[in-house]
Chains A and B, each alone.
Chain A
Amino acid sequence: MTSTISLTIDGQPVEAPADATVLQAAEAAGITIPTLCHHPNLTPPAVCRLCVVEWEGRRTLQPACVTQVAADAVIHTRSPRVDLARRTILEMLATTVDLSDAPELRAMLAEYDAHPERFGEDLTRREHEVIIDNSFFVRDYDKCVLCWRCVEACGTDMEHAFALGFSGRGFETSIATFFENPMPETTCVFCGNCVGVCPTGALKDRRVFELEMATDY
């Protein structure tokens, strides 16, 4: 039996299990914290940093998805620092990838008053050809935000197929197969889990993709 502790989130007294994350504690108290890479069925990679919150007395902002609550913590899920961080990350994301298939992210851009255009036009972007190499799903990495969900779903979190990994590093990272081979030549078992967890339409059911293509014209 885990004990219950008390803390303060956004000025509101909150009770939470001692092993809860800040995200869980906030959700239980009806406070919404935005997330992107987080998925309930996957190990939180805590890479997107959109869920960061301000924890009084801690040097940096804390990712709510993986940070454990503590007794008497005073946490702010919205503050000028938090908003600046979320806004800047969203702006940089929007100037890097195609978010047209990510309505939740576009809503977040509006909520945080993000203005990607202030970054100017002459920016390095991540551009990839659409990969159609199997009859089940299409990979459009122009839309990939590198949330790691597909890699985790393909690996130890779900399928243990280990077909997906990474090419490059830093900004130039991309999700890739072994030596970037076509999907049918990899260990992919076409379980579809990666498509199911993709939040931005980078991985898409091939029929859906073709239907969208057909109705675009």
Chain B
Amino acid sequence: MTSPQTLALTPHQEQALQTLLRRYQGGGQSALLPLLHDIQAITGWVDEPTARAVAHTLGIPEIEVHNVLEFYTLFYNRPVGKHVIRVCNDLACMLAGHEAIIRALADHLGVPEQGGTSADGRFTLELHPCLGHCELAPFLMLDEEPMGPVSPDQIPDLLGGVS
């Protein structure tokens, strides 16, 4: 973690977040992962003030929120693109030519092949350990949408079709 960054939420998002926090009030540590998932569905990532609010909402030490945010790869405590593309980087997808998919995505988004966020902040490319769709290799997930087998020439349409 480097310079502190904070979420810029629309009034609508802010309201949704506050409603969510009220719903989880006093929920205890066991509600931590569900709450973080629900928050990220609204905000995309969790900044420091939000993490603090999570701790106070659930009634747990702040450090516990940090510990969990840092452990799980689907949680983000720094900015992430509006859409996250997770390309399966594992054995079956390697054998099915996932390199060409990664290259096409990286070229299109202007990010390194190891992953990164596009300059306009719309997309984050991530290489992900086996996504469990090996019969559909090469495989990727665009946010929560499973896609496979994918070919490199589908990439422009795939990205163009996203709001």
Which residues of A pack against B, CB within 8 Å?
A: 162-169, 176-180, 187
Say yes or no: is B64 at the interface (Cβ < 8 Å to chain A).
Answer: yes
User: Smallest CB–CB gap between B76 and chain A, Å?
Assistant: 13
CA distance A210 to B33 in the complex (A): 42
Segment 63-94 of B: residues with Cβ below 8 Å from A? 63-67, 70-71, 77
User: Smallest CB–CB gap between A185 and chain B, Å?
Assistant: 10
Say yes or no: is B156 at the interface (Cβ < 8 Å to chain A).
Answer: no
Say yes or no: is B51 at the interface (Cβ < 8 Å to chain A).
Answer: yes
Closest chain B residue to A169, Cβ basis? B71
Closest chain A residue to B49, Cβ basis? A179
List 9 A–B pairs whose Cβ atoms lie within 8 Å, in order of A's numbering.
Answer: A162-B62, A165-B64, A167-B1, A168-B70, A178-B48, A178-B63, A178-B65, A187-B61, A187-B63
A179 near B66: Cβ-Cβ < 8 Å: yes
Number of cross-chain contacts by CB at 8 Å: 41
Which of B63, B71, B77 is close to A162, meaning CB atoms less than 8 Å apart?
B63
Kindly list the 4 A-B residue pairs having the minimum CB-CB distance in the complex, ordered from nearest: A162-B61, A165-B63, A165-B67, A178-B62
Say yes or no: is B4 at the interface (Cβ < 8 Å to chain A).
Answer: yes
Q: How many residues of B contact A (CB 8 A)?
A: 15
Enumerate chain A residues within 8 angstroms of B63, measured Cβ to Cβ. 162-165, 177-178, 187
Of A169, A176, A179, the most chain B CB neighbours within 10 A belong to: A179
A165 near B71: Cβ-Cβ < 8 Å: no
Enumerate chain B residues within 8 angstroms of A180, measured Cβ to Cβ. 1
Enumerate chain A residues within 8 angstroms of B66, measured Cβ to Cβ. 165-167, 176-179
Additional A-B contacts beyond A165-B66, A169-B71 (20; CB < 8 A):
A162-B61, A162-B63, A162-B64, A165-B63, A165-B67, A166-B66, A166-B71, A167-B1, A168-B70, A169-B70, A177-B63, A178-B48, A178-B63, A178-B66, A179-B4, A179-B51, A179-B66, A187-B61, A187-B62, A187-B63
